[in-house]
Copies of this chain bind each other. A is one copy, B any other.
Amino acid sequence: MKKNDIKLSFDNSCSFNNYVDSCIGTGRMGLALFKEYQDQLKLCQKEIGFKYIRGHGLFCDDMAIYQERDMTRFGGEVTIDYNFTYLDLVFDFYLSINLKPYLELGFMPYKMASGEQTIFYWKGNTTPPKDYDAWKKLIQVTLRHLIDRYGRDEVITWPVEVWNEPNLPGFWENADMEEYFKLFEVSFNAVKEVDKDFKVGGPAVCGGSDRKWIKAFLEFCKGKNLEPDVITRHHYATELPEYTGHYGYAKLMDPMNEEDGFPGLHSTREIIDSFPEFKGKDIHITEFNTSYIPICPLHDTNQNAAYIANQLSKLGDDNKLYSYWTFGDCFEEMGVPYSLFHGGFGLVTYGNIPKPTFWTFAFFKYLKDNYKTCIQKDDTSIVVIDNENTVKGVCYNVTLERSGNDFINSYEINVKDGNYVLLTKRVDEEVCNPLKVWHDLGENRILKKEDIELIKSASYPQVSTKVISAVDGKVSFDIELKENAMVYFELRKVSVISDTGYDYNRVMQYK
């Protein structure tokens, strides 16, 4: 097997901004009322622990905020009412698990909408407001309610983003740029009027026309003397999917072969910095993933996990926040999931089975604990040291298609002589591949509890330890990486002499 020789020293240093836990994506906000959604999100918070959560649907009708109550049939009147019963349940829940909302303003309440266009199975209205004053009031009443309930000091830490992907006609009628800028201006001012310390961002565009839109957006802001606090955009990394049966199959883009730096995002930084007024403004990737459709089986694979690992090592180079789309398969954009695995975006499935990519996030979170400095970073691994001189790393064998390309990362590190324990947590197609177990068991779509438990038992990393010795100031070890494997490792100095004299070698009859 091929060997990559990697020599490390504590004196090395390379750039690594690790915002792995900065934000996570979610399905429509109304789903947050579901017990199943809450269970899936709780697992993510327990094992990973994100800071913000962002998704669509704050103002959609299932959240029931904007209400026109018609009592005319009973001799009464039509009154406008703002109902926060559901919103409070959702945000109480988020805060109870240490998540803060990243507020996306949208979509349009049916009774406030100028048109009938909707998006998704769940029918979010994506037309401009028929009355911008009503829209402004909706924003302000909502923010003031939140401040009343959760306190101003808390609520102003919640970023505000205006709408979602207006550069796609499905998300914004005709992808009408001028209309979006109007929406942005009204919304921006509405928020700042409530409290100027809110951070407001846009234009929340997806790839394709991103450069054009971002440039135009900044021109508009400059012209209007608006200063957005953050520039937001999305990033997906596959070619167009090929649809067959219920699914779309998508080919990954090559992360090592990008014109403007992986993962094709550096141009945004450059555009912003070309405006003296906005130079250095924070960029938030408010959505990213491999494929952008929730019926792409790639999401369920070890291949996805390894590919995302590579992304996580680099996304912090230009961006201050990036939000994987999405935490769980409790999601409805293309309908309600009908089988356990179905190509959904989630890090976890229905029934709370973690997919391989779940562990990508967990492993990068481990790198943050006591983070001191990064000493190695390439397309197969990233290695850091923590405050107590423990070495930690994540390795990955990223493939674009099956090729039999297994390899070994062979590390040599300059350390003090003595004994070390090498701890590894392995996620690969053999030892942590719930998709395969589900497949082998017959791809049953009915989720019986015992099936779920069985598959879950095959969805955790394989944990191993090994004692190795450093002599002459060097310690060496190999991490084998089959295709699509991802491995976390940790090297700790350890004294293997028990203070109670447990004689392990005697017990094990190792002479």
Residues of A that sit less than 8 Å from B by CB: 33-36, 38, 64, 67, 69, 71, 74-76, 79, 81, 83-86, 88-89, 92-93, 145, 148-149, 243-249, 297-298, 300-301, 335-339, 341-343, 350, 401-402, 421, 423, 425, 429-431, 435-437, 439-443, 445-449, 454, 457-458, 460-467, 492, 494-504, 506-510
Contacts and interface: CB of A to CB of B under 8 A. Distances in A.
B465 A462 contact: no
B243 A76 contact: yes
B454 A457 contact: no
A66 to B, nearest CB: 11
A494 B437 CA distance: 12
B243 A338 contact: no
B421 A441 contact: yes
Contact of A461 (B38, B337, B457, B463): B457
Contact of A35 (B79, B93, B337, B465): B93
A437 B463 contact: yes
Nearest to A81: B338
B338 A500 contact: yes
A169 to B, nearest CB: 14
A463 B467 contact: no
Contacts of A449: 92
Of A35, A75, A446, most B-chain CB atoms within 10 Å? A35
Contacts of A462: 431, 462
A460 B431 CA distance: 12
Nearest to A447: B88
Contacts of A437: 463-465
Given A64-B335, A89-B36, A339-B500, A440 B494 contact: yes
Contacts of A439: 496, 498, 502, 504
Nearest to A296: B507
Given A458-B465, A503-B245, A83 B421 contact: no
A244 B339 contact: no
B440 A466 contact: yes
A510 B430 contact: no
Given A64-B335, A93-B35, A465 B443 contact: no
Contacts of A89: 35-36
Given A83-B336, A440-B467, 7 more contacts: A36-B89, A145-B446, A300-B507, A301-B508, A342-B500, A436-B465, A458-B465
Given A423-B454, A445-B498, A246 B71 contact: yes
A245 B462 CA distance: 34
A445 B500 contact: yes
A148 B447 CA distance: 12
B300 A247 contact: no
A337 to B, nearest CB: 6
Contacts of A460: 457, 460
Nearest to A434: B463
B507 A243 contact: no
A378 to B, nearest CB: 24
A495 B492 CA distance: 47
B501 A247 contact: yes
Contact of A248 (B69, B74, B85, B494): B74
Contact of A69 (B69, B76, B335, B421): B335
Nearest to A84: B446
Nearest to A458: B463
Contacts of A337: 85
